[in-house]
Amino acid sequence: MKVGILSFQGSFLDHSKSVKAINAKPILIKNKLDIHELDALILPGGESTAMKKINEYSDIFLELDKFIKSGKPTLSTCAGTILLAKAVVGGDTVIPNIDIEITRNAYGRQTESFEGSVSFYNNEDIYCFIRAPKITKILSDKVKVIAQHNSEVVGVQQDNIVALTFHPELNNDRYYLDWLESFIKEGENVGTF
Protein backbone atom coordinates (compact mmCIF):
# COMPACT_ATOMS: atom_id res chain seq x y z
CA MET A 1 0.00 0.00 0.00
CA LYS A 2 1.33 3.43 -0.99
CA VAL A 3 0.29 6.36 1.17
CA GLY A 4 1.02 9.85 -0.13
CA ILE A 5 1.88 12.50 2.45
CA LEU A 6 1.90 16.18 1.44
CA SER A 7 5.46 17.20 2.29
CA PHE A 8 5.64 20.96 1.80
CA GLN A 9 6.30 21.49 5.53
CA GLY A 10 4.86 20.47 8.88
CA SER A 11 4.54 17.05 10.52
CA PHE A 12 4.96 14.92 7.38
CA LEU A 13 7.89 12.94 8.83
CA ASP A 14 5.83 11.92 11.87
CA HIS A 15 3.04 10.72 9.56
CA SER A 16 5.68 8.84 7.57
CA LYS A 17 6.65 6.95 10.76
CA SER A 18 2.99 6.04 11.33
CA VAL A 19 2.67 4.71 7.78
CA LYS A 20 5.84 2.63 8.16
CA ALA A 21 4.58 1.28 11.51
CA ILE A 22 1.58 -0.30 9.71
CA ASN A 23 3.86 -1.78 7.00
CA ALA A 24 2.68 0.58 4.26
CA LYS A 25 4.97 2.66 2.06
CA PRO A 26 5.03 6.44 2.64
CA ILE A 27 5.41 8.56 -0.50
CA LEU A 28 6.48 12.12 0.30
CA ILE A 29 4.54 14.36 -2.09
CA LYS A 30 6.49 17.39 -3.26
CA ASN A 31 5.15 17.72 -6.82
CA LYS A 32 2.33 16.49 -9.06
CA LEU A 33 4.28 13.45 -10.26
CA ASP A 34 4.31 12.01 -6.74
CA ILE A 35 0.51 11.60 -6.70
CA HIS A 36 0.19 8.77 -9.24
CA GLU A 37 -0.68 5.23 -8.09
CA LEU A 38 -1.35 6.10 -4.45
CA ASP A 39 -3.79 4.13 -2.31
CA ALA A 40 -4.40 6.88 0.25
CA LEU A 41 -3.48 10.46 1.12
CA ILE A 42 -2.48 12.31 4.30
CA LEU A 43 -2.53 16.10 4.61
CA PRO A 44 -0.44 16.87 7.71
CA GLY A 45 -0.42 19.59 10.29
CA GLY A 46 1.89 22.54 9.82
CA GLU A 47 1.14 26.05 8.62
CA SER A 48 -1.74 26.24 6.15
CA THR A 49 -0.73 29.70 4.89
CA ALA A 50 2.81 28.48 4.16
CA MET A 51 1.42 25.42 2.35
CA LYS A 52 -0.78 27.68 0.26
CA LYS A 53 2.19 29.89 -0.70
CA ILE A 54 4.37 26.89 -1.60
CA ASN A 55 1.54 25.60 -3.80
CA GLU A 56 1.79 28.79 -5.90
CA TYR A 57 5.10 27.43 -7.22
CA SER A 58 4.09 23.79 -7.59
CA ASP A 59 0.34 23.99 -8.35
CA ILE A 60 -0.27 20.61 -6.70
CA PHE A 61 -3.59 21.31 -4.95
CA LEU A 62 -5.64 20.82 -8.12
CA GLU A 63 -4.24 17.29 -8.48
CA LEU A 64 -4.83 16.58 -4.78
CA ASP A 65 -8.43 17.75 -5.19
CA LYS A 66 -8.95 15.26 -8.05
CA PHE A 67 -7.38 12.48 -5.97
CA ILE A 68 -9.63 13.19 -2.98
CA LYS A 69 -12.75 13.37 -5.16
CA SER A 70 -11.83 9.99 -6.68
CA GLY A 71 -12.88 8.43 -3.36
CA LYS A 72 -9.51 7.31 -2.02
CA PRO A 73 -9.01 7.41 1.77
CA THR A 74 -7.84 10.87 2.83
CA LEU A 75 -6.74 11.82 6.34
CA SER A 76 -6.07 15.40 7.39
CA THR A 77 -4.70 16.65 10.70
CA CYS A 78 -4.60 20.21 12.05
CA ALA A 79 -3.52 22.50 9.16
CA GLY A 80 -4.45 19.75 6.68
CA THR A 81 -8.01 20.03 7.94
CA ILE A 82 -7.94 23.79 7.30
CA LEU A 83 -6.97 23.02 3.69
CA LEU A 84 -10.03 20.76 3.24
CA ALA A 85 -12.69 22.87 5.01
CA LYS A 86 -15.49 24.42 2.93
CA ALA A 87 -15.37 27.58 5.11
CA VAL A 88 -12.36 29.05 6.95
CA VAL A 89 -12.66 31.77 9.60
CA GLY A 90 -9.45 33.83 9.53
CA GLY A 91 -8.27 32.45 6.20
CA ASP A 92 -9.17 31.32 2.69
CA THR A 93 -10.59 28.06 1.42
CA VAL A 94 -7.94 26.03 -0.39
CA ILE A 95 -9.10 22.50 -1.36
CA PRO A 96 -12.70 22.57 -0.08
CA ASN A 97 -13.82 18.95 0.23
CA ILE A 98 -15.47 18.61 3.64
CA ASP A 99 -18.61 20.37 4.80
CA ILE A 100 -17.26 22.12 7.89
CA GLU A 101 -16.41 25.64 8.98
CA ILE A 102 -13.07 25.84 10.75
CA THR A 103 -11.45 28.65 12.73
CA ARG A 104 -7.68 28.95 12.43
CA ASN A 105 -5.55 29.07 15.63
CA ALA A 106 -8.75 28.92 17.69
CA TYR A 107 -7.03 27.80 20.89
CA GLY A 108 -4.41 30.55 20.71
CA ARG A 109 -0.73 30.88 19.87
CA GLN A 110 2.00 28.23 20.00
CA THR A 111 2.37 28.73 23.77
CA GLU A 112 -1.29 27.74 24.22
CA SER A 113 -0.73 24.34 22.59
CA PHE A 114 -1.78 21.50 24.88
CA GLU A 115 -2.41 17.79 25.33
CA GLY A 116 -5.98 16.76 26.03
CA SER A 117 -8.22 13.74 26.36
CA VAL A 118 -9.94 12.83 23.08
CA SER A 119 -12.66 10.28 22.45
CA PHE A 120 -11.81 9.02 18.96
CA TYR A 121 -14.40 6.51 17.73
CA ASN A 122 -14.45 3.91 20.55
CA ASN A 123 -11.20 4.94 22.23
CA GLU A 124 -10.20 7.57 24.77
CA ASP A 125 -6.59 8.79 24.78
CA ILE A 126 -4.41 11.87 25.22
CA TYR A 127 -3.50 13.70 22.00
CA CYS A 128 -1.61 16.89 21.11
CA PHE A 129 -3.26 20.10 19.94
CA ILE A 130 -0.60 22.40 18.43
CA ARG A 131 -1.87 25.87 17.46
CA ALA A 132 -4.94 23.88 16.66
CA PRO A 133 -7.89 25.02 14.59
CA LYS A 134 -11.44 24.46 15.84
CA ILE A 135 -14.36 22.96 13.93
CA THR A 136 -16.93 25.68 14.58
CA LYS A 137 -19.80 24.48 12.36
CA ILE A 138 -20.88 21.34 10.59
CA LEU A 139 -22.40 22.45 7.30
CA SER A 140 -24.24 19.31 6.16
CA ASP A 141 -25.69 16.07 7.45
CA LYS A 142 -23.08 14.17 5.39
CA VAL A 143 -20.54 14.95 8.13
CA LYS A 144 -20.28 12.46 11.00
CA VAL A 145 -18.63 13.43 14.30
CA ILE A 146 -15.94 10.85 15.17
CA ALA A 147 -13.81 12.61 17.80
CA GLN A 148 -14.48 14.97 20.69
CA HIS A 149 -12.41 16.80 23.30
CA ASN A 150 -14.70 17.67 26.20
CA SER A 151 -17.82 18.77 24.33
CA GLU A 152 -15.96 20.15 21.29
CA VAL A 153 -15.86 18.42 17.92
CA VAL A 154 -12.22 17.69 17.02
CA GLY A 155 -12.70 15.04 14.33
CA VAL A 156 -15.19 14.37 11.55
CA GLN A 157 -15.70 12.00 8.65
CA GLN A 158 -17.41 12.69 5.35
CA ASP A 159 -17.36 9.81 2.88
CA ASN A 160 -13.67 8.99 2.22
CA ILE A 161 -12.27 11.90 4.26
CA VAL A 162 -11.37 11.92 7.95
CA ALA A 163 -10.45 15.39 9.24
CA LEU A 164 -8.89 15.86 12.68
CA THR A 165 -7.76 19.02 14.47
CA PHE A 166 -5.28 17.15 16.69
CA HIS A 167 -2.08 15.17 16.03
CA PRO A 168 -2.49 11.39 16.52
CA GLU A 169 0.73 10.80 14.58
CA LEU A 170 2.74 12.21 17.49
CA ASN A 171 1.46 9.47 19.83
CA ASN A 172 1.22 6.52 17.43
CA ASP A 173 -0.74 4.58 20.04
CA ARG A 174 -1.92 1.10 19.08
CA TYR A 175 -5.56 2.16 18.62
CA TYR A 176 -4.61 4.92 16.16
CA LEU A 177 -2.26 2.68 14.18
CA ASP A 178 -4.86 -0.11 13.95
CA TRP A 179 -7.46 2.44 12.87
CA LEU A 180 -5.08 3.95 10.28
CA GLU A 181 -4.36 0.54 8.78
CA SER A 182 -8.07 -0.24 8.49
CA PHE A 183 -8.79 3.20 7.06
CA ILE A 184 -6.19 2.82 4.30
CA LYS A 185 -7.26 -0.74 3.44
CA GLU A 186 -10.96 0.11 3.20
CA GLY A 187 -10.31 2.04 0.00
CA GLU A 188 -13.33 3.55 -1.67
CA ASN A 189 -15.66 1.89 0.88
CA VAL A 190 -14.04 3.61 3.83
CA GLY A 191 -17.19 5.58 4.63
CA THR A 192 -19.05 2.36 5.46
CA PHE A 193 -17.07 1.09 8.46
What is the CA 60 to chain-centroid distance, rounded? 17
Nearest CA to 153 out of 167, 138, 170, 174 is that of 138
- Rounded-to-integer distance, Cα 19 and Cα 25, Å: 7
* Cα 53 off chain centre by: 19
Tens of pLDDT, residues 106-154: 776 666 677 889 999 889 999 988 878 999 999 999 999 999 999 999 9
Residues classed as catalytic: 78, 167, 169
pLDDT at 79 over 80: yes
Residue 193 has pLDDT above 60, yes or no: no
Q: Is the pLDDT of residue 55 over 80?
A: no
- Give the pTM: 0.91
- 10 Å CB burial of residue 132 (0-12, 13-18, 19+) is buried
Mean per-residue pLDDT, 174-179: 93
DSSP state of 38: -
139 neighbors 160 (Cβ within 8 angstroms): no
The answer to which of 34-38, 166-170, 177-181, 185-189 has the lowest mean pLDDT is 185-189
Class of domain 2-192: alpha beta
DSSP state of 168: G
DSSP string for 55-105? HHHH--HHHHHHHHHTT--EEEETHHHHHHEEEEETS--SS--EEEEEETT
